[in-house]
Structure 1
Amino acid sequence: MGRTTEPGAHVSAAVAPAGLPTNPWEKWGWVFASIWLVFLVYPVIAVVESDASTGVKVLAFACIVAFAVANVMGYASHRRVWLHLAAMVVLAVATIPVIGISAISYTPYLAMLSALALPAPAWKWAVGFWAATPLLSLLGIDGFPPYFFLTIWPVMLGGVMLRIFGERERVAHEAQQQLAMVAERERVARDVHDVIGHSLTAMSVKAELAARLVDADPARAKAELESIQATARQALAEVRATVGGLRAGNLEAELATLPRVLDDAGIETTVAGTVADTDPRHRALLAWVLRESVTNVVRHARAQSVVIELGPHGIAVTDDGAGCAGVEGNGLRGMRERVAGAGGTLEISAATPGTRIQVALP
């Protein structure tokens, strides 16, 4: 039972990463942008109150409407955000001859679109540029509100925070994906190791038995060879199911098949307790533990008998073989990881003689 170092099972699992979470602003930003358009009432009022001719006012209104459309489209189509942002700047500048300094009312829209939609690192430079807009008050421009920063800076701060939180969430999700992929690879490696190790051990024992019986009892030898074929087919199916994440341990099936494997190896099996004595929550895990424990007994223990004990708090497998020696192999490490993941403990101790593996689960 882990008496010798087992060869590592290097399995490369091709796990397709799930899609990254979409920042709400990438999907629904155009809705909020549409709501914010209500604040374009200020340049509209400025146009109405201007001394421009009717035709010029109509053109100014058209520019404001086009500005609103470009703003909404900037959130809806991030691939063309630079185009929409440039259009907004041109349209805003086009209204300056009519509304004058009131054109600064467009600045929050430009700042928010820059913060939430521009790619990195360009958005930082753009936001910095719009954040400097209030400094124009130092030039003494007539009509420029001296406390404009109280309007623009909180808006930009909100946009920057939303952008940062969205990027942090994306990075965290990417890390979670990587961890999930590593965990999936480890799961596949453990499961394939358990399936292949048990199946090859069973086939090896049956092949040795068939070789001994081929002259003395040809009918029995033929039956063992057919059993080897069935075991190989079952192993292939289990590997496919394991890679697909569909296989779960079946304690009742293991208790039915493993004693036959032990018997073929000349090992007497005693089972104390039944499946009904175990916790239903942990039966799949107990099936994996039982399979790996019996496989190790057959491969390493040189035992004459094995006792399997089932109870409400776990399982114990005791053999009268050669005892523990050497470094734990992949099988036992995988078993420990499974048990630890379920909040239980695995203890390997010397019996008299042999080895005892005991798993305690909550």
Structure 2
Amino acid sequence: MSQAAHHPLPDNPWEKWGWAFASIWLFFLVFPISATLDADAPSLAKAFTLTCIAGFAVANVLGYSHRRSTWVSLGLMVALALATVPVIGIDVISFTPYVAILSALELPAPAWKWAVGLWAAVPMLSLLDIDGFPTYFFLMLWPVILGGVMLRLFGEREQVAYAARSEFALVSERERVARDVHDVLGHSLTALSVKAELAARLVDLDPERAKEELESIQATARQALAEVRATVGGLRAGNLEAELAAAPRVLADAGITATVVGDVADTDPRHRALMAWVLRESVTNVVRHARARSVVIELGPDGIAVTDDGAGCDGPEGNGLRGMRERVSGAGGTLEVSPGTPGTRVRVALP
């Protein structure tokens, strides 16, 4: 699924509030209005020119309402501005900043760049020695165009940054789901395997106990399915009390004795969910790889430690341990895996 389907880009602010921006700057239409009123022209021509100026103002405001109307509005503005030439003459250039800023902010790429370049060239008309053309018109027009271009570029940069942040959030969420599913399935499948082996050994020696183990397998499978669904939906959080109660049972099924030092009440409530994940993954690793006879689980206000008397921690880190390290690091803690005497000690220190 595409990133846009999860994180749509923010709306263009000029489509939402551009009409207010345009309305404020309509004040400067006082110059063509004044030129119309001072012109030596028939009253009917003046009235027509003032109507064109009013239409220009309306088209300018509407041009910011939606980008699909920008081309129409821009065309109307140019036509209406040219219609005032018979009365105000060269003062028609006072409309240029309006069409320039609308082009810079609202036209689609790459058309806006060509349009802005066209309007920026208007001051070059001074080279034609047109009567009344202000030689230094560029001092008014170019700063306005530059401001519009900067606003456009900053807006596009912001959209790119927003898209990047959204993509990063999506990748982070995928990694979270992958870690959680790995932890849930790894623990549950390990427990199922141990229980199945135990049931197979007991089926002839103790049928009733074997039946209990098979029923436990069914319950564990249902619980694993529910946990995977909740994990994918982002609803599952680790429960330290539940994991602390389940760990000795899972270890006992594998023939491993468990000793718990400390209590949930001794731990920092902020980190209990994380410590539950650490305990679950550590127990899973012991059952899978350690070939241990006993495990000691230590709880304290600054973290958790799981120590076994198994075969040691030779070999590279697996996905489970890497996922555990990422979780701990994200919480500002540290994870240390060190050899025991014998066995392995997994120690997580949290702030």
The equivalent of 1:3 in structure 2 is none
Q: Is 2:155 the counterpart of 1:189?
A: no
The equivalent of 1:317 in structure 2 is 306
Distance of 2:251 and 2:145 partners within structure 1: 72
Q: By how many angstroms is 1:51 displaced?
A: 2.0
Structure 1: tracts of 5 or more residues without a match: 1-11
- Does the 8 Å contact 1:307/1:318 carry over to 2? yes
Distance of 2:2 and 2:71 partners within structure 1: 40
Distance of 2:206 and 2:60 partners within structure 1: 87
Secondary structure in structure 2 of the residue aligned to 1:303: coil
Distance of 2:65 and 2:12 partners within structure 1: 13
Give the counterpart letter for 2:192 in structure 1: M
Residues 13 and 323 of structure 1: is their aligned pair in 2 closer, same or farther, counting only changes over 3 Å? farther
- 1:20-56 CA deviation, whole Å, 9 max, x = no partner? 1233223101111011111111111111112222222
- Does the 8 Å contact 1:15/1:181 carry over to 2? no
The equivalent of 1:240 in structure 2 is 229
The equivalent of 1:5 in structure 2 is none
Give the counterpart letter for 1:157 in structure 2: L
The equivalent of 2:92 in structure 1 is 103
Distance of 2:265 and 2:310 partners within structure 1: 29
Secondary structure in structure 1 of the residue aligned to 2:108: coil
Give the counterpart letter for 1:64 in structure 2: I
Structure 2: tracts of 5 or more residues without a match: none
The equivalent of 2:327 in structure 1 is 338
Distance of 2:2 and 2:241 partners within structure 1: 29
Following superposition of structure 1 onto structure 2, how do residues 154-303 of structure 1 map, counting pairs within 5 Å? Answer: 154-303=143-292
Distance of 2:34 and 2:310 partners within structure 1: 94
- 1:328-362 CA deviation, whole Å, 9 max, x = no partner? 11000000100111111111111011111001111
- 1:156-191 CA deviation, whole Å, 9 max, x = no partner? 111111111101111111111111111111111100
2:140 to 119, 134, 151: 151
Distance of 1:193 and 1:227 partners within structure 2: 21
Q: Is 2:60 the counterpart of 1:71?
A: yes
Give the counterpart letter for 1:314 in structure 2: G
Taking structure 1 as the reference length, the TM-score comes to: 0.94
- Does the 8 Å contact 1:13/1:185 carry over to 2? no
Q: By how many angstroms is 1:58 displaced?
A: 1.8
Secondary structure in structure 1 of the residue aligned to 2:259: strand
Q: For this pair of structures, how many residues does the alignment match?
A: 351
Residues 210 and 270 of structure 1: is their aligned pair in 2 closer, same or farther, counting only changes over 3 Å? same
Secondary structure in structure 2 of the residue aligned to 1:266: coil
Distance of 1:14 and 1:29 partners within structure 2: 28
- Percent of pairs identical after alignment? 75
Q: By how many angstroms is 1:240 displaced?
A: 1.0
Secondary structure in structure 2 of the residue aligned to 1:75: coil
The equivalent of 1:29 in structure 2 is 18
Distance of 1:165 and 1:35 partners within structure 2: 21
Residues 23 and 230 of structure 1: is their aligned pair in 2 closer, same or farther, counting only changes over 3 Å? same
Q: Is 2:70 the counterpart of 1:81?
A: yes
Distance of 1:107 and 1:16 partners within structure 2: 40
Q: By how many angstroms is 1:15 displaced?
A: 9.2
Q: By how many angstroms is 1:14 displaced?
A: 8.8
Give the counterpart letter for 2:334 in structure 1: T
The equivalent of 1:140 in structure 2 is 129
Residues 15 and 361 of structure 1: is their aligned pair in 2 closer, same or farther, counting only changes over 3 Å? farther
- Does the 8 Å contact 2:339/2:345 carry over to 1? yes
- Does the 8 Å contact 1:301/1:321 carry over to 2? yes
Give the counterpart letter for 1:330 in structure 2: N
Secondary structure in structure 1 of the residue aligned to 2:7: coil
